[in-house]
Chain A
């Protein structure tokens, strides 16, 4: 095959721990009560259009987009709206949610619920974008950026390549892997729909080399056609970061402060491609997703197809229960996921996985002084100097932080992972980015 493509700068190799990669996708039953947060995307939260007491069906519109960078939210269940109130979500804070008491599983009539795979793409680009927008599709890799916005490049920018992200570089997570194995055909159709919407002739699907079965399966699915090319990629974190993925697939570097469209690329997760297929071919809005439940103590590491709004306690029960010495619950992967405060937190559009960590694994090592070993600099995929930026942030020297490109940080965590002194570099980097971002915005106003 030759040398595997990869990004040139930095990167680390944490243990893969793909404990659930052989667990086929299992459909979970609907919950008794669905808690649907109004903030499930990057950008403005959505505005509810239902009220207490309303009866709803699966797929019915619950809330409208609250701005340009926002999304529609549809009911994942059928039943009666119990209340619209604050409830705890993955942020650890109580946020506005629509809470529905579930009755049965009745779907909106416009949705095609048959298992048939519809391959022929009959819609025009404008219609595709409209359907994706109305269906509330967001980036399923976890960023939850409204997909339809990415399909409308700003004036003057033209898309040349579509890149589909099948990398899943985070340890433990396997939802994308299972989707590629079991829903590959739909993902390919979704890819072609996206290509049509963007008017691009060529798409690349990047898959990390630790998923040879997915690579083989996809190569078979696209055999004979030359519009989609499968790129096996070197196993290196953060291969799935969109800038690193673009570098690996087409050898272009997105300039500092700019978006991928600047180098003619649009990146979408495989889960997003699947959601686009469902939205366009089946008229089905985004109401469910595949979530991995995993961890060294989990009795049955699994991949569940679950409705948005299901509390994670139900997924953990389905994985044969919360292990006894669980010390930490992570929403997402161990490198970039968020620690969750309660078992009542609901699954949202961006929930890729639930990772349960034992007590022994849950606490940080004692912080020591920086010994200037430079490991953080060597592993940073963006070519930054974490030791310098975190010091600047700690001492509130935001001018230096901005000049040394702190805003380029993708928050992958490689620096903190490799630090021998266990310094919480990423904590300071996030603080620095927050403050510098505020300063930059106030400068523009």
Chain B
């Protein structure tokens, strides 16, 4: 007597899986992780390890003892959140603050909303902003990058290029006067500037972005609309008054702009479902970032901009729906 499986169609499955997507993002972050270890040394390794171990631990504990549901820590999503969180932190952040960050990211921003796929806000950014607001001093003392080959001596801290510009312009200096204080473009591209672990090297981040585009993990819509908006908006102001506004290239390469555009704003769970919606989302993030950078109290605006736009995603999804087949028949012959 034969036993045959009976289930509904379709009876074949494509190759994609949640695990493949998550680990694909992890692979895309490897260049940035390697650069951060090169420039920030042991501190970077410490931050990464603690973020990863704490995030996985908290997810496991919550799933096993609080929710009492399936254990999914191997699906890669907590790992992605952990690495993104680490890349958003200064490499000298005290360990206990990192652990709080992991708890906020996994416990508050992800699991309390229902777990993977149910969160409204990007968990790594929620944790970063939480830490920034709770521990402003520690979260803004950025170690100066020091190639690991120079030895393992203590790091020196200092402001980021954005911080230098914000303070300088606020003290009525002009851009020409500040240009000697901020790193050159080459330094910025390679990673030789102050900042969080992940934001320093533009090239490493772009490499990761290209990998994700190739593997179809992200599409170009959000990064391009966000960066284009930033370039155009900052370009207009720089064009009018170059001494009191930084140029577009500076804005594109400094701070969390590329990290945000490539890894944070493109998070599938917290971004719109249609391409049209994604373009609007990217535009909003870009605009808000520039507004905060230019006129807000903080030198960096990407994290806040993304979180604010995350809140608008359900509304964007209502407004931007795919074109229905047959909505516009074209030729109506028989009437």
| Contact between chains at B324 and A383 (CB < 8 Å) | yes
- Is residue A372 within 8 Å, beta carbon to beta carbon, of the partner chain? yes
| Contact between chains at A381 and B325 (CB < 8 Å) | yes
Given A252-B329, A374-B274, residue A326 in contact with residue B4 (CB < 8 A): yes
| Contact between chains at B12 and A417 (CB < 8 Å) | yes
CB-CB under 8 A from A341, the residues of chain B are 4, 6
- Give the size of the chain B interface in residues (CB under 8 angstroms): 42
| Contact between chains at B324 and A382 (CB < 8 Å) | yes
Q: Provide the bound-state CA to CA distance between A365 and B7, in Å.
A: 12
| Contact between chains at B323 and A9 (CB < 8 Å) | yes
Q: Provide the bound-state CA to CA distance between A114 and B18, in Å.
A: 59
CB-CB under 8 A from A355, the residues of chain B are 11
| Contact between chains at B10 and A369 (CB < 8 Å) | no
| Contact between chains at A336 and B9 (CB < 8 Å) | yes
Residue of A171, A256, A336, A373 touching B268 (CB-CB under 8 A): A373
- Is residue A437 within 8 Å, beta carbon to beta carbon, of the partner chain? no
| Contact between chains at A335 and B10 (CB < 8 Å) | yes
| Contact between chains at B333 and A264 (CB < 8 Å) | yes
- Which of B113-121, B155-163, B185-193, B229-237 makes up part of the contact surface? B113-121
| Contact between chains at A329 and B323 (CB < 8 Å) | no
Least CB distance, A26 to chain B, in whole angstroms: 24
CB-CB under 8 A from A262, the residues of chain B are 329, 332-334
CB-CB under 8 A from B12, the residues of chain A are 14, 171, 334-335, 361, 417
Interface residues of chain B: helix, strand, loop or mixed (majority)? loop
| Contact between chains at B324 and A384 (CB < 8 Å) | yes
CB-CB under 8 A from A252, the residues of chain B are 329-331
Q: Provide the bound-state CA to CA distance between A252 and B327, in Å.
A: 11
- Is residue B151 within 8 Å, beta carbon to beta carbon, of the partner chain? no
| Contact between chains at B115 and A369 (CB < 8 Å) | yes
| Contact between chains at A335 and B9 (CB < 8 Å) | yes
- Is residue B14 within 8 Å, beta carbon to beta carbon, of the partner chain? yes
Given A12-B14, A328-B4, residue A383 in contact with residue B323 (CB < 8 A): yes
Residue of B10, B324, B328 touching A413 (CB-CB under 8 A): B10
- Is residue A242 within 8 Å, beta carbon to beta carbon, of the partner chain? no
- Is residue A148 within 8 Å, beta carbon to beta carbon, of the partner chain? no
CB-CB under 8 A from A330, the residues of chain B are 11
Least CB distance, B149 to chain A, in whole angstroms: 40
Q: Provide the bound-state CA to CA distance between A156 and B335, in Å.
A: 7
CB-CB under 8 A from B77, the residues of chain A are 371
| Contact between chains at A339 and B324 (CB < 8 Å) | no
- Is residue B203 within 8 Å, beta carbon to beta carbon, of the partner chain? no
Give B127-152 interface residues, CB cut-off 8 Å to A. Answer: none
Least CB distance, A332 to chain B, in whole angstroms: 8
- Is residue B75 within 8 Å, beta carbon to beta carbon, of the partner chain? yes
- Is residue A147 within 8 Å, beta carbon to beta carbon, of the partner chain? no
- Is residue A27 within 8 Å, beta carbon to beta carbon, of the partner chain? no
| Contact between chains at B324 and A369 (CB < 8 Å) | no
| Contact between chains at A329 and B324 (CB < 8 Å) | no
Q: Closest residue of chain B to A382, judged by CB?
A: B325
Q: Closest residue of chain A to B216, judged by CB?
A: A375
Give A399-423 interface residues, CB cut-off 8 Å to B. Answer: 405, 408, 411, 413, 416-422
| Contact between chains at B322 and A420 (CB < 8 Å) | no
Most chain B CB atoms below 10 A, which of A92, A361, A417: A417
Give B287-328 interface residues, CB cut-off 8 Å to A. Answer: 321-328
| Contact between chains at B117 and A263 (CB < 8 Å) | no
- Is residue B273 within 8 Å, beta carbon to beta carbon, of the partner chain? yes
Least CB distance, A155 to chain B, in whole angstroms: 10
Residue of A256, A377, A418 touching B327 (CB-CB under 8 A): A256
Interface size range of chain A in the complex? 35 or more
| Contact between chains at B333 and A263 (CB < 8 Å) | yes
| Contact between chains at A422 and B17 (CB < 8 Å) | yes
Q: Provide the bound-state CA to CA distance between A119 and B224, in Å.
A: 61
Residue of B11, B116, B327 touching A357 (CB-CB under 8 A): B11
| Residues 252-289 of chain A, each 1 if its beta carbon lies under 8 Å from chain B, else 0 | 11111010011110000000000000000000000000
- Is residue A385 within 8 Å, beta carbon to beta carbon, of the partner chain? yes
| Contact between chains at B21 and A416 (CB < 8 Å) | no
- Is residue A370 within 8 Å, beta carbon to beta carbon, of the partner chain? yes
| Contact between chains at A364 and B9 (CB < 8 Å) | no
Residue of A339, A370, A430 touching B7 (CB-CB under 8 A): A339
Residue of B5, B13, B18, B274 touching A371 (CB-CB under 8 A): B18
| Contact between chains at B18 and A368 (CB < 8 Å) | yes
Q: Provide the bound-state CA to CA distance between A80 and B18, in Å.
A: 58
| Residues 35-50 of chain B, each 1 if its beta carbon lies under 8 Å from chain A, else 0 | 0000000000000000
| Contact between chains at A336 and B325 (CB < 8 Å) | no
Q: Provide the bound-state CA to CA distance between A256 and B117, in Å.
A: 31
| Contact between chains at B17 and A420 (CB < 8 Å) | yes
CB-CB under 8 A from B328, the residues of chain A are 253
Given A326-B2, A374-B268, A418-B14, residue A253 in contact with residue B330 (CB < 8 A): yes
CB-CB under 8 A from B7, the residues of chain A are 328, 339, 363-364
| Contact between chains at B334 and A156 (CB < 8 Å) | yes
Least CB distance, B57 to chain A, in whole angstroms: 21
| Contact between chains at B16 and A368 (CB < 8 Å) | no
| Contact between chains at A371 and B333 (CB < 8 Å) | no
Q: Provide the bound-state CA to CA distance between A109 and B154, in Å.
A: 103
CB-CB under 8 A from B327, the residues of chain A are 253, 255-256, 383
Given A372-B273, A413-B9, A420-B20, residue A340 in contact with residue B333 (CB < 8 A): no
Given A365-B17, A369-B116, A387-B273, residue A339 in contact with residue B333 (CB < 8 A): no
CB-CB under 8 A from B6, the residues of chain A are 92, 328, 339-341
- Is residue B8 within 8 Å, beta carbon to beta carbon, of the partner chain? yes
Q: Provide the bound-state CA to CA distance between A99 and B24, in Å.
A: 57
B→A interface (CB under 8 Å): 2, 4-14, 16-18, 20-21, 72, 75, 77, 115-118, 268-269, 273-274, 321-334
A-B pairs, 8 with minimum CB distance: A413-B10, A264-B333, A369-B117, A420-B16, A339-B6, A383-B324, A374-B273, A362-B5
What are 18 A-B pairs with beta-carbon distances under 8 A? Answer: A9-B323, A256-B324, A322-B2, A326-B2, A327-B4, A335-B12, A339-B4, A371-B21, A371-B268, A372-B269, A405-B324, A408-B324, A408-B325, A416-B13, A417-B12, A417-B13, A420-B18, A420-B21
A→B interface (CB under 8 Å): 9, 12, 14, 92, 156-158, 160, 171, 243, 247, 251-256, 258, 261-264, 322, 326-330, 334-343, 355, 357, 361-365, 368-375, 377, 380-385, 387, 405, 408, 411, 413, 416-422, 424, 426-427, 430
